[in-house]
Amino acid sequence: MSKFLDSTRDFLHEWSLNILILLFGTTTLVQAFIVPTPSMDTTVMVGDHLLVDKLAYSPSGPVSKYILPYTEPKRGDIIVFRYPIDISQNYVKRVMGVPGDHIRIVDKVVYLNGHPLTEPYTQHVFPGLEAYRDNFPSEPVGPVYDRARQMLAEHVVNGELVVPPGSYFAMGDNRDNSLDSRYWGFVPRENIIGKPLVIFWSYDAPTEDWVGNTGSHVADLARNFFVKTRWDRTLKLIRGIPIH
């Protein structure tokens, strides 16, 4: 019974916060974000339109820290952040490691501080193993940026990646098809914008429609708005899952 009450209380708290932001939010409080790639399938999907809480990870002031629920990013949180390679782009991933954590991947299984993780939110779309992607850290293969190579050179200890202060290790839930910290390095703390709260609209269209193919996308919307809108995802809350 107590678990039910706790769950109900958490649900009401989340929705109360969402409603307040929807009613009174400005660009300083909330930001709309469109998911253009499948790296977080199926937690969030291509075409999901998210409202992002920009207050969640903001530095707390002397008074506001007693009023607003500021927090530091935690393992398992889903975050929106400025892509370290090009800060004009926003990415969405899951925090897998916070400062001080030791991370390695063995045959697709993530080990955090020496313990294998159970990750019900992930999917693996390719049955085979890739040396770098699925056994990490190792000799870099594929589209590995210089930032990631520097990360590997400076922060690998006894075969494990050690997350330094002020940085976070982030990965996509669509683990075999995600360009993430394995390939471009840590997410700096100052790059983190906020956490997604809710999907306010979801439309089934491919990545190219969301990244610049405006003419055909507008025509597709005009023809198929009601058919291709994913009504079952409308107003779906986005929640992280704590990982230890």
Per the annotation, the verdict on 236 as an active-site residue is no
Closest CA to 188 of 79, 26, 109: 79
Catalytic residue, candidates 3, 54, 93, 236: 93
93 is catalytic: yes
Contacts of 20 (CB under 8 A, 6+ apart): none
Q: Which amino acid would we find at residue 213?
A: N
Q: What are phi and psi of 225, to 5 degrees?
A: -50, -50
CA gap 38, 206 in Å, rounded = 9
Rounded (10°) CA dihedral 243, 231, 177, 148: -60
Task: Residue 95: name the closest of 114, 81, 109, 105 by CA.
Answer: 81
30-34 and 236-237: which strand pairing?
unpaired
- Output the CA torsion 21→24→26→30 (10° steps): 0
Q: Which of 2, 3, 39, 138 is catalytic?
A: 39
Catalytic residues: 39, 93
